[in-house]
Amino acid sequence: MPTIDQTLDEVLTLAAARFKVPREKLSPDDDFFQNLGIDSLQALDLLTRLENHFHVELPDYEMQGVSDFRTLASKIQARL
């Protein structure tokens, strides 16, 4: 199983590639809504890509209030 740091790195890499943001401009504690400039539909897109990539289910209600990459990665890690 990957470590939380590895999971976090994969989340950042995937988000950067999907929304065409340089990877080095994203940090674990960034607000991804602000840094990626995404709306609710794009957030759903990201959620689906993360589920597909990590082969996990991320219930929407667990994502409520999550806006930084570190917390997002911890939610994924808890379901790996």
Residues of this chain that interact with other proteins (CB under 8 A) are 33, 39-41, 43-45, 47-49, 51-52, 57, 59-61, 63-64, 67
* CA dist., res. 14 & res. 52, Å (int): 11
Instruction: Provide the minimum distance between the beta carbon of 71 and other proteins in the complex, in angstroms, as a whole number.
Output: 14
* CA dist., res. 2 & res. 54, Å (int): 10
Instruction: Provide the minimum distance between the beta carbon of 59 and other proteins in the complex, in angstroms, as a whole number.
Output: 5
Q: Nearer to other proteins by C-beta: 16 or 43?
A: 43
Q: Nearer to other proteins by C-beta: 44 or 78?
A: 44
- Which of 10, 16, 5, 17 lies closest to 56, judged by CA? 10
